[in-house]
Amino acid sequence: MNLSAIRTLFLGIFLVTSFASYSQNESSALEETLLEENEKENKFDPKSMIMHHVKDAYGFHIIDIGEKKYSISLPIILWTDNGLTTFMSSAFDHDYYGNVVVESNGGKFVNYKEKIYQLNPGEDTLVKGEDGYPANTTKPLDISITKNVFMMWVSMLVLFLIFIGAARKYKKSENFIPKGIASFVEPLVLFIRDEVAIPMIGEKKYARYMPYLLTVFFFIWLNNIFGLIPIINGANLTGNIAFTLTMATFTFIITTFSGNKSYWKHIFWMPGVPVPMKIFLMPIEIVGMFTKPISLMIRLFANITAGHIIILALMSLIFIFNTVAIAPVSVAFSLFIIVIEIVVTAIQAYIFTILSALYFGMATEEHEHH
Protein backbone atom coordinates (compact mmCIF):
# COMPACT_ATOMS: atom_id res chain seq x y z
CA MET A 1 0.00 0.00 0.00
CA ASN A 2 2.79 2.41 0.98
CA LEU A 3 4.70 1.72 -2.16
CA SER A 4 1.74 2.47 -4.36
CA ALA A 5 1.05 5.67 -2.45
CA ILE A 6 4.63 6.82 -3.04
CA ARG A 7 4.34 5.90 -6.67
CA THR A 8 1.16 7.91 -7.02
CA LEU A 9 2.83 10.86 -5.34
CA PHE A 10 5.78 10.77 -7.70
CA LEU A 11 3.51 10.39 -10.68
CA GLY A 12 1.59 13.43 -9.51
CA ILE A 13 4.76 15.47 -9.12
CA PHE A 14 5.95 14.38 -12.51
CA LEU A 15 2.67 15.30 -14.14
CA VAL A 16 2.53 18.71 -12.45
CA THR A 17 6.10 19.54 -13.43
CA SER A 18 5.61 18.38 -16.97
CA PHE A 19 2.43 20.41 -17.22
CA ALA A 20 4.34 23.40 -15.96
CA SER A 21 7.24 22.93 -18.36
CA TYR A 22 4.86 22.35 -21.22
CA SER A 23 2.99 25.52 -20.43
CA GLN A 24 6.27 27.41 -20.40
CA ASN A 25 7.14 26.15 -23.86
CA GLU A 26 3.80 27.08 -25.24
CA SER A 27 3.63 30.44 -23.57
CA SER A 28 7.05 31.47 -24.82
CA ALA A 29 5.83 30.90 -28.35
CA LEU A 30 2.70 32.79 -27.54
CA GLU A 31 4.47 35.63 -25.80
CA GLU A 32 6.42 36.64 -28.83
CA THR A 33 3.23 36.99 -30.77
CA LEU A 34 1.72 38.78 -27.85
CA LEU A 35 4.61 41.22 -27.67
CA GLU A 36 4.37 42.09 -31.29
CA GLU A 37 0.66 42.43 -31.07
CA ASN A 38 1.02 44.62 -28.02
CA GLU A 39 3.44 46.83 -29.81
CA LYS A 40 0.96 47.43 -32.55
CA GLU A 41 -2.37 47.51 -30.82
CA ASN A 42 -1.43 47.16 -27.19
CA LYS A 43 -4.05 44.46 -26.84
CA PHE A 44 -3.91 40.68 -27.20
CA ASP A 45 -5.82 39.52 -30.22
CA PRO A 46 -6.34 35.76 -29.94
CA LYS A 47 -7.82 35.47 -33.40
CA SER A 48 -4.85 36.84 -35.29
CA MET A 49 -2.47 34.86 -33.06
CA ILE A 50 -4.35 31.64 -33.75
CA MET A 51 -4.62 32.30 -37.45
CA HIS A 52 -0.94 33.09 -37.58
CA HIS A 53 -0.07 29.80 -35.91
CA VAL A 54 -2.43 27.71 -37.98
CA LYS A 55 -1.29 29.13 -41.27
CA ASP A 56 1.83 28.43 -43.23
CA ALA A 57 4.94 30.56 -42.66
CA TYR A 58 8.21 31.46 -44.33
CA GLY A 59 10.67 30.01 -41.85
CA PHE A 60 10.60 28.39 -38.42
CA HIS A 61 10.38 30.83 -35.60
CA ILE A 62 11.95 28.88 -32.73
CA ILE A 63 12.35 31.20 -29.74
CA ASP A 64 12.96 34.77 -28.62
CA ILE A 65 15.60 35.45 -26.01
CA GLY A 66 15.46 39.06 -24.96
CA GLU A 67 15.39 41.18 -28.08
CA LYS A 68 17.01 38.49 -30.19
CA LYS A 69 14.85 36.26 -32.32
CA TYR A 70 16.01 32.82 -33.33
CA SER A 71 14.55 31.21 -36.37
CA ILE A 72 15.43 28.90 -39.24
CA SER A 73 15.07 30.80 -42.47
CA LEU A 74 13.91 29.07 -45.59
CA PRO A 75 14.27 30.00 -49.25
CA ILE A 76 11.57 32.08 -50.88
CA ILE A 77 11.03 31.28 -54.53
CA LEU A 78 8.87 33.60 -56.60
CA TRP A 79 7.99 33.77 -60.24
CA THR A 80 7.61 37.43 -61.14
CA ASP A 81 7.49 39.38 -64.36
CA ASN A 82 11.28 39.53 -64.20
CA GLY A 83 11.58 35.79 -63.97
CA LEU A 84 12.60 33.61 -61.07
CA THR A 85 13.35 35.54 -57.89
CA THR A 86 14.82 33.86 -54.85
CA PHE A 87 16.01 35.10 -51.48
CA MET A 88 16.06 33.78 -47.94
CA SER A 89 13.17 34.48 -45.61
CA SER A 90 15.61 36.01 -43.11
CA ALA A 91 15.61 39.07 -45.38
CA PHE A 92 12.25 40.01 -43.89
CA ASP A 93 13.79 40.00 -40.40
CA HIS A 94 10.80 38.20 -38.86
CA ASP A 95 8.42 40.84 -40.05
CA TYR A 96 5.02 39.79 -41.27
CA TYR A 97 3.20 43.07 -41.07
CA GLY A 98 4.50 44.39 -44.35
CA ASN A 99 6.90 46.87 -42.74
CA VAL A 100 10.14 45.48 -44.17
CA VAL A 101 10.50 45.85 -47.91
CA VAL A 102 12.90 43.46 -49.60
CA GLU A 103 14.35 44.34 -52.97
CA SER A 104 15.33 41.46 -55.17
CA ASN A 105 15.66 40.97 -58.90
CA GLY A 106 14.21 44.40 -59.57
CA GLY A 107 11.08 43.88 -57.50
CA LYS A 108 10.04 45.03 -54.06
CA PHE A 109 8.45 42.44 -51.80
CA VAL A 110 6.73 42.53 -48.45
CA ASN A 111 5.52 39.78 -46.16
CA TYR A 112 2.04 40.63 -45.00
CA LYS A 113 0.45 38.01 -42.73
CA GLU A 114 2.72 35.32 -44.16
CA LYS A 115 1.88 36.02 -47.76
CA ILE A 116 4.38 37.59 -50.11
CA TYR A 117 3.17 40.61 -52.03
CA GLN A 118 5.03 42.46 -54.71
CA LEU A 119 4.69 46.23 -54.47
CA ASN A 120 3.54 47.86 -57.65
CA PRO A 121 6.31 49.69 -59.53
CA GLY A 122 7.03 53.07 -58.02
CA GLU A 123 5.64 52.19 -54.59
CA ASP A 124 7.93 52.08 -51.56
CA THR A 125 5.64 51.12 -48.70
CA LEU A 126 2.67 48.87 -48.26
CA VAL A 127 -0.71 50.52 -48.23
CA LYS A 128 -3.63 48.59 -46.81
CA GLY A 129 -7.01 48.88 -48.41
CA GLU A 130 -10.28 49.19 -46.56
CA ASP A 131 -10.79 45.43 -46.46
CA GLY A 132 -7.51 45.04 -44.55
CA TYR A 133 -5.72 43.54 -47.52
CA PRO A 134 -2.78 45.20 -49.27
CA ALA A 135 -4.02 47.60 -51.92
CA ASN A 136 -0.99 48.67 -53.91
CA THR A 137 0.42 45.24 -54.64
CA THR A 138 0.27 42.25 -56.95
CA LYS A 139 0.67 38.67 -55.89
CA PRO A 140 3.55 36.88 -57.57
CA LEU A 141 3.42 33.18 -58.22
CA ASP A 142 4.79 31.84 -54.96
CA ILE A 143 6.51 28.47 -54.82
CA SER A 144 8.60 29.16 -51.73
CA ILE A 145 9.91 26.44 -49.53
CA THR A 146 7.69 27.31 -46.61
CA LYS A 147 7.58 25.74 -43.20
CA ASN A 148 4.98 23.26 -44.41
CA VAL A 149 6.93 22.30 -47.50
CA PHE A 150 10.04 21.84 -45.39
CA MET A 151 8.23 19.62 -42.90
CA MET A 152 6.70 17.70 -45.76
CA TRP A 153 10.18 16.91 -47.01
CA VAL A 154 11.28 15.93 -43.53
CA SER A 155 8.31 13.58 -43.37
CA MET A 156 9.25 12.23 -46.79
CA LEU A 157 12.74 11.44 -45.55
CA VAL A 158 11.36 9.81 -42.41
CA LEU A 159 9.02 7.68 -44.51
CA PHE A 160 11.90 6.64 -46.77
CA LEU A 161 14.00 5.71 -43.78
CA ILE A 162 11.26 3.69 -42.12
CA PHE A 163 9.83 1.85 -45.10
CA ILE A 164 12.87 1.30 -47.25
CA GLY A 165 14.63 0.19 -44.07
CA ALA A 166 11.79 -2.21 -43.40
CA ALA A 167 11.94 -3.53 -46.95
CA ARG A 168 15.69 -4.15 -46.54
CA LYS A 169 15.04 -6.13 -43.37
CA TYR A 170 12.83 -8.47 -45.34
CA LYS A 171 15.48 -9.01 -47.95
CA LYS A 172 18.06 -9.88 -45.33
CA SER A 173 15.95 -12.21 -43.24
CA GLU A 174 15.30 -15.77 -44.21
CA ASN A 175 11.75 -16.91 -44.90
CA PHE A 176 10.63 -13.25 -44.90
CA ILE A 177 10.39 -13.10 -41.14
CA PRO A 178 9.95 -9.47 -40.09
CA LYS A 179 12.70 -8.19 -37.84
CA GLY A 180 13.45 -4.82 -36.31
CA ILE A 181 11.55 -1.97 -37.93
CA ALA A 182 9.80 -4.41 -40.25
CA SER A 183 7.95 -5.98 -37.37
CA PHE A 184 6.57 -2.55 -36.52
CA VAL A 185 5.64 -1.72 -40.09
CA GLU A 186 4.12 -5.04 -41.06
CA PRO A 187 0.99 -4.94 -38.87
CA LEU A 188 0.19 -1.47 -40.19
CA VAL A 189 0.69 -2.52 -43.78
CA LEU A 190 -1.39 -5.63 -43.21
CA PHE A 191 -4.04 -3.52 -41.52
CA ILE A 192 -4.33 -1.35 -44.61
CA ARG A 193 -4.44 -4.42 -46.81
CA ASP A 194 -6.84 -6.58 -44.81
CA GLU A 195 -9.08 -3.97 -43.17
CA VAL A 196 -9.12 -1.25 -45.80
CA ALA A 197 -8.18 -2.36 -49.29
CA ILE A 198 -9.62 -5.87 -49.49
CA PRO A 199 -13.04 -5.17 -47.90
CA MET A 200 -13.52 -1.91 -49.80
CA ILE A 201 -12.13 -2.74 -53.23
CA GLY A 202 -12.36 -6.50 -53.34
CA GLU A 203 -9.98 -9.41 -53.50
CA LYS A 204 -9.44 -9.17 -57.24
CA LYS A 205 -8.55 -5.55 -57.80
CA TYR A 206 -7.12 -4.29 -54.55
CA ALA A 207 -3.48 -4.91 -55.42
CA ARG A 208 -3.37 -2.06 -57.96
CA TYR A 209 -4.39 0.50 -55.35
CA MET A 210 -2.27 -0.75 -52.48
CA PRO A 211 0.77 1.51 -53.10
CA TYR A 212 -1.44 4.60 -53.28
CA LEU A 213 -3.43 3.71 -50.18
CA LEU A 214 -0.35 2.86 -48.15
CA THR A 215 1.47 6.03 -49.20
CA VAL A 216 -1.54 8.22 -48.48
CA PHE A 217 -2.12 6.64 -45.10
CA PHE A 218 1.41 6.96 -43.82
CA PHE A 219 2.03 10.36 -45.41
CA ILE A 220 -1.07 11.88 -43.82
CA TRP A 221 -0.55 10.14 -40.52
CA LEU A 222 3.04 11.22 -40.15
CA ASN A 223 2.24 14.81 -41.10
CA ASN A 224 -0.68 14.85 -38.68
CA ILE A 225 1.74 13.81 -35.96
CA PHE A 226 4.30 16.40 -37.05
CA GLY A 227 1.60 19.04 -36.75
CA LEU A 228 1.22 18.20 -33.08
CA ILE A 229 4.87 18.57 -32.09
CA PRO A 230 4.95 21.81 -30.06
CA ILE A 231 8.31 23.21 -31.13
CA ILE A 232 7.26 23.12 -34.76
CA ASN A 233 3.62 23.62 -33.88
CA GLY A 234 2.21 25.48 -36.78
CA ALA A 235 3.85 23.28 -39.37
CA ASN A 236 0.22 22.48 -39.82
CA LEU A 237 0.56 20.72 -43.16
CA THR A 238 -2.45 18.42 -43.04
CA GLY A 239 -4.50 21.30 -41.66
CA ASN A 240 -3.71 23.32 -44.75
CA ILE A 241 -6.34 23.25 -47.41
CA ALA A 242 -3.77 23.28 -50.20
CA PHE A 243 -2.39 19.96 -48.99
CA THR A 244 -5.76 18.30 -48.55
CA LEU A 245 -6.89 19.68 -51.89
CA THR A 246 -3.95 18.01 -53.58
CA MET A 247 -4.47 14.70 -51.84
CA ALA A 248 -8.20 14.72 -52.57
CA THR A 249 -7.45 15.56 -56.19
CA PHE A 250 -5.22 12.53 -56.47
CA THR A 251 -8.02 10.35 -55.13
CA PHE A 252 -10.46 11.97 -57.53
CA ILE A 253 -8.15 11.45 -60.51
CA ILE A 254 -7.55 7.81 -59.66
CA THR A 255 -11.26 7.21 -59.09
CA THR A 256 -12.16 8.83 -62.41
CA PHE A 257 -9.54 6.96 -64.38
CA SER A 258 -10.32 3.59 -62.87
CA GLY A 259 -14.06 3.99 -63.33
CA ASN A 260 -15.43 1.12 -65.38
CA LYS A 261 -18.44 1.05 -67.67
CA SER A 262 -20.94 0.34 -64.95
CA TYR A 263 -19.57 3.20 -62.82
CA TRP A 264 -20.19 5.70 -65.58
CA LYS A 265 -23.52 4.13 -66.37
CA HIS A 266 -24.58 4.58 -62.78
CA ILE A 267 -23.65 8.23 -62.98
CA PHE A 268 -25.17 9.22 -66.32
CA TRP A 269 -27.96 6.72 -66.89
CA MET A 270 -28.89 4.97 -63.65
CA PRO A 271 -30.06 1.49 -64.56
CA GLY A 272 -33.25 0.05 -63.14
CA VAL A 273 -35.21 3.26 -62.68
CA PRO A 274 -37.76 4.94 -65.00
CA VAL A 275 -36.51 7.45 -67.57
CA PRO A 276 -37.67 10.66 -65.80
CA MET A 277 -35.89 9.41 -62.70
CA LYS A 278 -32.77 8.77 -64.77
CA ILE A 279 -32.78 12.37 -65.95
CA PHE A 280 -33.44 13.58 -62.43
CA LEU A 281 -30.65 11.48 -60.95
CA MET A 282 -28.00 12.42 -63.48
CA PRO A 283 -27.13 15.88 -62.12
CA ILE A 284 -27.23 14.58 -58.57
CA GLU A 285 -24.79 11.81 -59.42
CA ILE A 286 -22.53 14.22 -61.29
CA VAL A 287 -22.46 16.56 -58.31
CA GLY A 288 -21.89 13.56 -56.07
CA MET A 289 -18.83 12.66 -58.10
CA PHE A 290 -17.27 15.95 -57.02
CA THR A 291 -18.62 16.21 -53.50
CA LYS A 292 -16.85 13.00 -52.53
CA PRO A 293 -13.31 14.34 -52.96
CA ILE A 294 -14.39 17.76 -51.69
CA SER A 295 -15.69 16.22 -48.50
CA LEU A 296 -12.40 14.32 -48.19
CA MET A 297 -10.55 17.59 -48.53
CA ILE A 298 -12.68 19.51 -46.05
CA ARG A 299 -12.82 16.68 -43.52
CA LEU A 300 -9.09 16.36 -43.10
CA PHE A 301 -8.45 20.10 -43.26
CA ALA A 302 -11.19 21.04 -40.82
CA ASN A 303 -10.44 18.26 -38.36
CA ILE A 304 -6.79 19.06 -38.01
CA THR A 305 -7.24 22.82 -38.13
CA ALA A 306 -10.06 22.70 -35.60
CA GLY A 307 -7.85 20.69 -33.25
CA HIS A 308 -5.05 23.23 -33.52
CA ILE A 309 -7.42 26.15 -33.10
CA ILE A 310 -8.90 24.63 -29.96
CA ILE A 311 -5.49 24.03 -28.40
CA LEU A 312 -4.36 27.53 -29.22
CA ALA A 313 -7.63 29.04 -28.03
CA LEU A 314 -7.29 27.28 -24.70
CA MET A 315 -3.78 28.66 -24.44
CA SER A 316 -5.02 32.11 -25.33
CA LEU A 317 -7.27 32.03 -22.28
CA ILE A 318 -4.20 32.79 -20.16
CA PHE A 319 -3.60 36.00 -22.07
CA ILE A 320 -7.24 36.92 -22.42
CA PHE A 321 -7.75 36.73 -18.66
CA ASN A 322 -4.25 38.15 -18.26
CA THR A 323 -3.45 35.97 -15.24
CA VAL A 324 -1.25 32.98 -14.54
CA ALA A 325 -3.96 31.49 -12.35
CA ILE A 326 -5.85 30.25 -15.37
CA ALA A 327 -2.72 28.53 -16.74
CA PRO A 328 -3.21 25.14 -15.04
CA VAL A 329 -6.78 24.97 -16.34
CA SER A 330 -5.93 25.80 -19.91
CA VAL A 331 -2.86 23.55 -19.86
CA ALA A 332 -4.90 20.68 -18.49
CA PHE A 333 -7.61 21.20 -21.06
CA SER A 334 -5.20 21.55 -23.95
CA LEU A 335 -3.32 18.46 -22.80
CA PHE A 336 -6.63 16.62 -22.90
CA ILE A 337 -7.32 17.95 -26.39
CA ILE A 338 -3.79 17.02 -27.49
CA VAL A 339 -4.37 13.44 -26.33
CA ILE A 340 -7.59 13.36 -28.35
CA GLU A 341 -5.72 14.89 -31.29
CA ILE A 342 -3.15 12.09 -31.14
CA VAL A 343 -6.00 9.65 -31.65
CA VAL A 344 -7.45 11.89 -34.34
CA THR A 345 -4.16 11.86 -36.27
CA ALA A 346 -4.53 8.15 -36.81
CA ILE A 347 -8.30 8.18 -37.27
CA GLN A 348 -8.26 10.91 -39.90
CA ALA A 349 -5.47 9.25 -41.84
CA TYR A 350 -7.45 6.01 -41.64
CA ILE A 351 -10.69 7.72 -42.70
CA PHE A 352 -9.02 9.39 -45.65
CA THR A 353 -7.54 6.07 -46.73
CA ILE A 354 -10.67 4.02 -46.23
CA LEU A 355 -12.86 6.53 -48.05
CA SER A 356 -10.38 6.68 -50.92
CA ALA A 357 -10.50 2.89 -51.03
CA LEU A 358 -14.30 3.02 -50.91
CA TYR A 359 -14.41 5.37 -53.90
CA PHE A 360 -11.99 3.16 -55.82
CA GLY A 361 -14.16 0.20 -54.93
CA MET A 362 -17.26 2.00 -56.20
CA ALA A 363 -15.49 2.87 -59.43
CA THR A 364 -14.34 -0.66 -60.13
CA GLU A 365 -17.32 -2.60 -58.77
CA GLU A 366 -18.87 -5.13 -61.12
CA HIS A 367 -22.60 -4.75 -60.72
CA GLU A 368 -24.99 -7.63 -60.88
CA HIS A 369 -28.14 -7.00 -62.84
CA HIS A 370 -30.75 -5.46 -60.69
Partner 1 sequence: MTITGIAAIGAGLAAIGAGMGIGRIGGSAMEAMARQPEIQGKIQTSALILAAFVEAVALFGVVVALLQG
Partner 2 sequence: MDLVTPGFGLVFWTAITFLILLFILKKFAWKPILGAVSSREESIKDALAAAEAARREMENLQADNERILQEARAEREAMLKDARDMKNKMIADAKEDAKQTADKMIAQAQEAIQSEKKAAIAELKGQVASLSLEIAEKVVKQELSNKGQQEKLVEDMLGKATLN
The single residue among 19, 22, 44, 51 that binds partner 1, judged by CB under 8 A, is: 51
Q: Rule CB under 8 A: is residue 290 a binding residue for partner 2?
A: no
Nearest to partner 2 of 66, 83 (CB atom):
83
Site string for partner 2, 250-269 (x = CB under 8 A): x-------------------
- Range 97-156, binding partner 2 (CB under 8 A): 113, 115, 141-146, 148-149, 152-153, 156
Residue 350 interaction partner, one of partner 2, partner 1, none, beta carbon < 5-8 Å per kind: partner 1
- Report CA torsion sign: 230, 250, 190, 153: negative
The nearest distance, CB 248 to partner 2, in angstroms, is 11
Q: Rule CB under 8 A: is residue 172 a binding residue for partner 2?
A: no
- Range 299-338, binding partner 1 (CB under 8 A): 299, 301-303, 305-306
Site string for partner 1, 238-257 (x = CB under 8 A): --------------------
The nearest distance, CB 327 to partner 2, in angstroms, is 27
Chain residues in the site for partner 2 (CB under 8 A): 51, 54-56, 77, 113, 115, 141-146, 148-149, 152-153, 156, 159-160, 163-164, 166-167, 170-171, 175-177, 182, 185-186, 189-190, 193, 207, 210-212, 214-215, 219, 240-243, 245-247, 250, 301, 305
Chain residues in the site for partner 1 (CB under 8 A): 47, 51, 195, 295, 298-299, 301-303, 305-306, 347, 350-351, 354-355
